[in-house]
Structure 1
Amino acid sequence: MAEGFLPMDSKSKKMEEFGKEYLEDLLSRSFFQCSSNKNASFLQMHDLVHDLAMLVSDDFCFRLDLSSDVHSLPTKIRHLSYRKSSYDLDNLKGLSKAISLRTFLALPMQIRFRNYLVPYNILLTKGSCLRVLSLSQSSIKELPDSIGSLIHLRYLDLSGTEIEELHESACSLYHLQTLLLSCCTKLSQLPRNMGRLINLRYLDITWVPLKEMPQGISQMKYLQFLPRVLLSDKNKDDVFKITDLAELEHLSGSLCILGLENINDATEASKANLKDKKDLTALTLSWSYGAADADSSQKELDVLDALRPHTSLKSLKIERYRGTTFSNWIADDAFSNLVSITLLNCKSCCYLPPLGQLASLKDLRIDGCDSVYSIGDGIDSSCPLFTCLESLRISNMLMWKEWSFGTEAFLQEGQVFPLLKRVWLRNCPKLNVGLPGYLPSLERLSIGDCEEVEYLLPRTQQTVTAPPFLHLWNTNEVFIWNCPVLESLLDWGSHSKVKELSLSNTKVLFENRIKWDLQKLSCLEHIRIQGWEDDSFPDEGLLPITLETIVIGDSSKLETLNGKAFEQLTSLTDLSIRSCKSLRCLPEEGLPTSLTDLSISGCPLLNQRCEKGGEDWPKIQHITNLSVK
């Protein structure tokens, strides 16, 4: 785009759409290949194609590396790239000869290094042909006035620099299409005349601590990428207001709107026309930290109603909303594309929206909604609910006490949470039952800091014989910590797949260990125990013989290890004992011969006994990897 290879916007297509077609064409011809890294959206080039490209572009393209000689730059050079922190950039003074330079690009594109030196003054005085200028993570702290002389500049990357001010002269770069300022942590304001950059399409201000935004941004009619906007004090002039969003018709991707407490009323909020921005896929609606309580809960609700986005939205996050009720549109089944919802620190809301009918919802996070007493109210449990949900995270819910979906619905196969794989509950001090019911697809369960949870399932379901589909056959990992009154674990079923179990500071559960029934866990390989309340560990027959790793820690009452119980653990290869200050010795019977890794730390009574020549040394001298400290 910056080099002018893409046609300007036509009535039918944007420049980006042309670019995507060209890229797909190059991929189909194997000029580029998809990266071998499946987690990264990068392309790569085959070595032979790369060598050919370098050969045919030798006079025009140059890549600086440790072996390059900048003094040998061809005078026709147009495109130059360099590696951050891998080159003596003082030698770049030879760039003054490159009078036709169009591209000066820092690699890699990701932010990894900081404060390397770049003689950017040469580029700004001699680079009148520059279209692409990347000074990402360089030592630059101030952009000089001469930046305005780069009249052909289309792409400017200042991300990760310590620049404190963007000079007004930058606003004369009328052809600029991309301005990257992400992670400029000392930049607190943008130029007042930003609106002059009428061709700007991408403005990245992620992780930039702006105090306010200029109103002129609304004049950037082609702007497509603007990750966040900050609404300033409603009494100020010449600052960005919610109504200015109406002019930015082409916004796409993610948008975070901060400072929503500065909206006067619902009429003003509706002028943002969020409902017409069909290219937005992720939206965050955020009220500021420390904002005063709302004058009227109804006014807050009306504003949230007016901020209804387009139904093509895929991700929604609402932060610090001050009303007592959420808008109905959040649970409207017209939002069939919604995949992720986060409700964060909405402390005045007493009820959650009935989200169970959202057909595509896969990830739900609820955090810090302190006034919510029950989850499930208002949901019609006669219909299948949360049919696609895979991840549920609930935390810091100080008043939440119960689930209220109705147990009968959960006793019917696949009616509620049929695909839920991950449950994470933390700091819900009044919750009395951990799970709403049997979860047939559950793979990972994490419950912590829930002081009043007595059971993981409703009592009515613990007294019945569960049909096969209700056994937790798919659960792989179970983590429970700081649940002191929890009485029992789950009904594992005879085909359980649990591989890892972690129990920490669960006093009553430890006392009821005879009911754990861990012998059913034929796949259990790793167990972690913290805060053990007895003087001996483990009981004979408590642990299955499949165990490979045991970690026991922070157990001040533990005095001995049960040698007969350890003799049964013939698969054990890794044992870690941490902060067991009363542990006197290792078992008389010794440790399993299968053990290859032993780590002992914070156990002062064992240190001398486990040294070479100590009383316990013969018991551990066969172990390959041994650490005692």
Structure 2
Amino acid sequence: MAEIAFGIIGNVLPKLGSVVCQELSLAWDIKSDLKRLERTMSTIKEVLLDAEKKQASDPLLRLWLGQLNDVIHDAEDVFDEIEYQALRNQVVATHGSTSRKVLHSFSSSMTHAFPFKLAHQIKSIRERLDEIAADKDKYNLTQQREDGHVNKRVNVISIVGLGGLGKTTLAKWVYNDERIVQTFPLRMWVCVSEDFRVTRLIKEILKSVCGIIDENWNADTLQTRLRELLNDKKFLLVLDDVWNEDRNKWIELRDLLIAGSEGSKIIVTTRSHVVASVISTDSTYNLEGLSQDDCLSLFVKCAFEDGEDKQHPNLLKFGKEIVEKCKGVPLAVRTLGSLLHSKVDEREWKFVRDNEIWKLEQKENDILPALRFSYEQLPIHLKRCFAFCSLFPKDHEFYSDQLIRMWMANGLIFDMPINKEQDLEDVGELYINELLSRSFFQDASEKLPSLPFYTFKMHDLIHDLAILVAQEECSVVELGNKNIAGTIRYLSFLEMGQGVPNYLDKLTKVRTIMPTGVQPLPMSLVEVCISRFNYLRLLDLSDSSIEVLPRSIGTLKHLRYLNLSYNIKIKKLPNSICKLHNLQTLLLHGCSRLERLSKGTGNMISLRYLAVTSKYMCLLENESFNSLRSLSLFSCLKVKVLFQEMDGCLTNLRTLVICDCPSLTSLPFNIKHLTALEYLAIYHCPMLSLMGGEDHNQDLKLSLRSLFIGNLPKLEFLPLWIQGYANTLQHLEIEDCKNFEALPEWLPTFKSLHTLEIIDCPYLSSLPEGTHRLPALRKMNFEGCPRLSRNLDGKVSPRSLMYQSFCSMRTRGYFNKSRRSGKELSIGR
């Protein structure tokens, strides 16, 4: 809890000194309250790091932190409301108004009831915080810085062991072994976790083989499809991380697996011997921990660079003692080794060895103290971001860009004083990289230049840790949940009925509502959430069959993230949505009946990410989106023009994705004025010509690094405006452009070009002279270009990076099929 309060205080303190707060203080005589509030918060912040370390062994201190956490959240809500009022007045003023006019507009409203209410709330918060601060000395806090056989034809093998021992890793080695691949024509892998609903498991088994299935299939159809899949085939099925102790559920699943041929195998990984006995396995492998020698070898690899350990024999002595405490658990060893990587100060190693957290009582399946200790060593900002991840189910595949936007919406990414050209999205990227480096995230996919995101997961044991540290703030709700703490502010729904749960009555300050299971939120719950939770920052209503979005959505003045994707019945949005001046992310992809964006959408002056499917002919008409960083257009079937006027608009746009827009005829003539644009992807636009904008201005500072073009039959040559990116373009990929004839003679001037990919362009016959002398070129690949006279690397490479990226986009969410209509749609997340 201390890290939460620390982070929020860090957000609130700069706001106390803002010009808007000063205007408010002068108008309502609360200057002394603001000054005192600032001093008290600063004083409390200084001791929060010490409180974080001591709370585990002091119940009264934890109670004090809970009270502090509550009032700090209330303070953030109040000052967030003040900022919203400033944004609202900025919108009311003309876009050309000076800041003085905006401030004057805000000042003139000080006589109204709204600021009076805020002033009263500030006084109340100051009094509550003073009372809490008076008790801090009691805790001596010091200032610190920072069943049997399946018809006897299918054998079941269990791998049992504590979390982090490597059960899943062992199962993966078996699953991917070449001998296994040759022995079992059909292999399937399903991550089970706590959700052992047989219908869900059948779906996951089918998806493991088929990739995509019809989510609307009923239970009978699913069982029929499964039997057809397994019929007389020798299969290997891995059920990873099973917790189910209900024998009846296992029998129900087992009876559906008898169609496989003799010699089929099921491998079950579980932490529980009870589970292994319930499924009556033929063989059980009790996975033991690593030997001390193996643990030390792994620890050395994680803590030192190659050979560096020999230079620090004094540290190895401490390393051996630390490894002993890990009890042979590889994940604990790797995590602590990563924690101490490149640290050569003996004091840091002693601190890890001697920390009191090792003394905490540990039961058989508890979170290992080693991992909890590594969490304690995270910086405050990473603790809060890590805890937020507890809202997702086990084995969830995170998308980097989506998670960053969710962190941003909840104020978990601080605008730190780093490179001033970096956006909050860049800071979020640093957060993910650091959590990956510390082993809190794992299995990261390759960062392909053709994709603006990558994926990663959390180990089950790490996920348990996230749940443990976030339990005061975050809750995953399943059917039958009754006891929800009143302090919960972040809710995800794994499984829902159709009604509105009674426990929501005691929740008043919820900030996040989102579904993480296969079921969308029912409309009755949607209406309650919008009307009751006035402090919402993140609201996910995707695939909810909404026909009419309630007008009251405009009252959610704190909202930063709104996901309305795949609501295929929505035809228009209420004009009140334009009052969401704090909104950063708006997802409207897959809304195939949406006629147009609301008039006045430009009033959402904080909007940074927009993904949209629309039937309207002009996407952004007479609107300005100066805060927008990413714009994605998917299946906008009637759009002919992107922007009516673009001068002075989209000046901060970094990513532009255009896909499945069959009526689009041209890009904006002055697209070269998008000086911040780094990533441009254009796919499936049969009427689009890229020509235009040839009057390139050499004085413009351009930023484009990646350009991806696919399925543009009108493309014969690259337009001249691309030459303006000769100093910045790193990746150029062209695919399935049937009439593309030649690369331009000026291509060899692209001094930063790393990758050149041209796929399925049958009329391409030669390369410009000097292409092989491109100074930065690392990879050049050509496929499906029969007229090309020669391939520079002398061989035909495997199927191209572009094709792999395209398939990756298809499987990871950019080109999924609509679950309702079966029509292929391009989506974002």
Question: Given the two structures, how large is their TM-score scaled by the length of structure 2?
Answer: 0.40
Counterpart of 2:414 in structure 1 is none
Which of 511, 530, 539 lines up with 1:226 in the alignment?
A: 539
The yes-or-no answer on 1:455 pairing with 2:745 is no
- What aligned pairs does 1:500-579 form with structure 2 within 5 A after superposition? 500-510=779-789, 513=790, 527=793, 529-530=795-796, 551=797
Report the 3-state secondary structure (helix = DSSP H, G, I; strand = E; otherwise coil) of the residue aligned with 1:13.
Answer: helix
Q: How far 1:29 sits from its partner (Å)?
A: 4.0
The yes-or-no answer on 1:13 pairing with 2:298 is no
Counterpart of 2:191 in structure 1 is none
Which of 699, 707, 710 lines up with 1:426 in the alignment?
A: 710
Q: Return the letter of the residue paired with 1:508.
A: R
Once residues 85 and 50 of structure 1 are traced to their aligned partners in structure 2, the CA distance between those partners, rounded to angstroms, is 12
Q: Deviations over 1:590-610 (max 9, x none)?
A: xxxxxxxxxxxxxxxxxxxxx
Q: Return the letter of the residue paired with 2:763.
A: V
Contact residue 479 and residue 503 of structure 1 kept, 8 A: yes
More strand by share: 1
The yes-or-no answer on 1:413 pairing with 2:698 is yes
Q: Return the letter of the residue paired with 1:358.
A: L
Q: Which has the higher contact order (CA 8 A, sep 6+)?
A: 2
Which blocks of at least 5 consecutive residues in structure 1 are unaligned? 71-79, 87-104, 116-135, 139-152, 236-240, 295-299, 519-526, 531-550, 555-629
- What aligned pairs does 1:157-556 form with structure 2 within 5 A after superposition? 157-158=475-476, 163=478, 165-167=479-481, 169=482, 173-181=485-493, 184=494, 187=496, 191=500, 196=505, 197-206=507-516, 208-210=518-520, 212-213=522-523, 214=525, 215-218=527-530, 219-228=532-541, 232-234=545-547, 241-252=549-560, 254-258=561-565, 262-263=569-570, 269-272=574-577, 274-278=578-582, 280-288=583-591, 291=592, 300-301=595-596, 303-308=597-602, 310-318=604-612, 320-328=613-621, 332=624, 335-353=625-643, 357-376=649-668, 379-380=669-670, 385-400=673-688, 402-407=689-694, 409-410=695-696, 412-413=697-698, 415=700, 418-436=702-720, 437-438=722-723, 439-440=725-726, 441-457=728-744, 462=745, 471-490=749-768, 492=770, 496-510=775-789, 513=790, 527=793, 529-530=795-796, 551=797
Deviates further, 448-457 or 351-360: 351-360
- The 3 A distance-change label for structure 1 pair 449 and 265 is closer
Q: How far 1:243 sits from its partner (Å)?
A: 1.7
Contact residue 340 and residue 364 of structure 1 kept, 8 A: yes
- The 3 A distance-change label for structure 1 pair 13 and 47 is farther
Q: How far 1:380 sits from its partner (Å)?
A: 4.4
- The 3 A distance-change label for structure 1 pair 314 and 180 is same
Once residues 176 and 552 of structure 1 are traced to their aligned partners in structure 2, the CA distance between those partners, rounded to angstroms, is 51
Q: How far 1:359 sits from its partner (Å)?
A: 1.7
Q: How far 1:395 sits from its partner (Å)?
A: 0.9
Counterpart of 2:39 in structure 1 is none
Q: How far 1:470 sits from its partner (Å)?
A: 7.9
- The 3 A distance-change label for structure 1 pair 316 and 112 is closer
Report the 3-state secondary structure (helix = DSSP H, G, I; strand = E; otherwise coil) of the residue aligned with 1:245.
Answer: helix
More helix by share: 2
- The 3 A distance-change label for structure 1 pair 476 and 430 is same
Q: How far 1:154 sits from its partner (Å)?
A: 4.0
Q: How far 1:432 sits from its partner (Å)?
A: 2.2
Once residues 714 and 737 of structure 2 are traced to their aligned partners in structure 1, the CA distance between those partners, rounded to angstroms, is 7
Q: Deviations over 1:94-132 (max 9, x none)?
A: xxxxxxxxxxx99995979569xxxxxxxxxxxxxxxxx
Q: Deviations over 1:254-300 (max 9, x none)?
A: 3212356655756xx1123x44332x322212343xx5x57xxxxx2
Once residues 483 and 351 of structure 1 are traced to their aligned partners in structure 2, the CA distance between those partners, rounded to angstroms, is 27
Q: How far 1:228 sits from its partner (Å)?
A: 4.0
- The 3 A distance-change label for structure 1 pair 529 and 202 is same
Contact residue 471 and residue 492 of structure 1 kept, 8 A: no
Once residues 363 and 250 of structure 1 are traced to their aligned partners in structure 2, the CA distance between those partners, rounded to angstroms, is 25
Q: Deviations over 1:34-68 (max 9, x none)?
A: xx9xxx9xx9795555566526x95xx54x4xxx5
Report the 3-state secondary structure (helix = DSSP H, G, I; strand = E; otherwise coil) of the residue aligned with 1:158.
Answer: strand
Q: Deviations over 1:494-530 (max 9, x none)?
A: 55321211010112223xx4xx8x6xxxxxxxx4744
Report the 3-state secondary structure (helix = DSSP H, G, I; strand = E; otherwise coil) of the residue aligned with 2:787.
Answer: helix
Q: Return the letter of the residue paired with 2:587.
A: T
- The 3 A distance-change label for structure 1 pair 108 and 475 is closer
Report the 3-state secondary structure (helix = DSSP H, G, I; strand = E; otherwise coil) of the residue aligned with 2:738.
Answer: coil
Counterpart of 1:611 in structure 2 is none
Contact residue 710 and residue 737 of structure 2 kept, 8 A: yes
Once residues 200 and 216 of structure 1 are traced to their aligned partners in structure 2, the CA distance between those partners, rounded to angstroms, is 12
Contact residue 563 and residue 588 of structure 2 kept, 8 A: yes
Contact residue 321 and residue 345 of structure 1 kept, 8 A: yes
Question: Given the two structures, how large is their TM-score scaled by the length of structure 1?
Answer: 0.52
Report the 3-state secondary structure (helix = DSSP H, G, I; strand = E; otherwise coil) of the residue aligned with 1:447.
Answer: strand
Once residues 442 and 310 of structure 1 are traced to their aligned partners in structure 2, the CA distance between those partners, rounded to angstroms, is 32
- The 3 A distance-change label for structure 1 pair 506 and 448 is same
- The 3 A distance-change label for structure 1 pair 429 and 363 is same
Q: Return the letter of the residue paired with 1:425.
A: I
- The 3 A distance-change label for structure 1 pair 110 and 179 is closer
Q: How far 1:158 sits from its partner (Å)?
A: 3.0
Q: Return the letter of the residue paired with 1:8.
A: V
Once residues 326 and 256 of structure 1 are traced to their aligned partners in structure 2, the CA distance between those partners, rounded to angstroms, is 19
Report the 3-state secondary structure (helix = DSSP H, G, I; strand = E; otherwise coil) of the residue aligned with 1:352.
Answer: strand
Contact residue 678 and residue 706 of structure 2 kept, 8 A: yes
Once residues 682 and 546 of structure 2 are traced to their aligned partners in structure 1, the CA distance between those partners, rounded to angstroms, is 33
Contact residue 586 and residue 607 of structure 2 kept, 8 A: yes
- The 3 A distance-change label for structure 1 pair 9 and 242 is farther
Contact residue 81 and residue 106 of structure 1 kept, 8 A: no
Q: Deviations over 1:460-503 (max 9, x none)?
A: xx4xxx6xx98111111101110001233345475532121101
Which blocks of at least 5 consecutive residues in structure 2 are unaligned? 5-64, 81-124, 134-140, 147-302, 304-334, 341-347, 373-385, 397-458, 462-470, 801-829
Report the 3-state secondary structure (helix = DSSP H, G, I; strand = E; otherwise coil) of the residue aligned with 1:480.
Answer: strand
Q: Which protein shows a greater Rg? A: 1
Q: How large is the RMSD of aligned CA atoms in angstroms?
A: 4.7
Once residues 250 and 366 of structure 1 are traced to their aligned partners in structure 2, the CA distance between those partners, rounded to angstroms, is 30
Q: How far 1:342 sits from its partner (Å)?
A: 0.8
Q: Return the letter of the residue paired with 1:281.
A: Q
Q: Deviations over 1:165-209 (max 9, x none)?
A: 355x45x7544323234xx3x557563557523232233424543
Q: Return the letter of the residue paired with 2:678.
A: E
Once residues 324 and 109 of structure 1 are traced to their aligned partners in structure 2, the CA distance between those partners, rounded to angstroms, is 42
Contact residue 231 and residue 242 of structure 1 kept, 8 A: no
Counterpart of 1:94 in structure 2 is none
- The 3 A distance-change label for structure 1 pair 423 and 380 is closer
- The 3 A distance-change label for structure 1 pair 242 and 396 is farther
Q: Return the letter of the residue paired with 2:616.
A: G
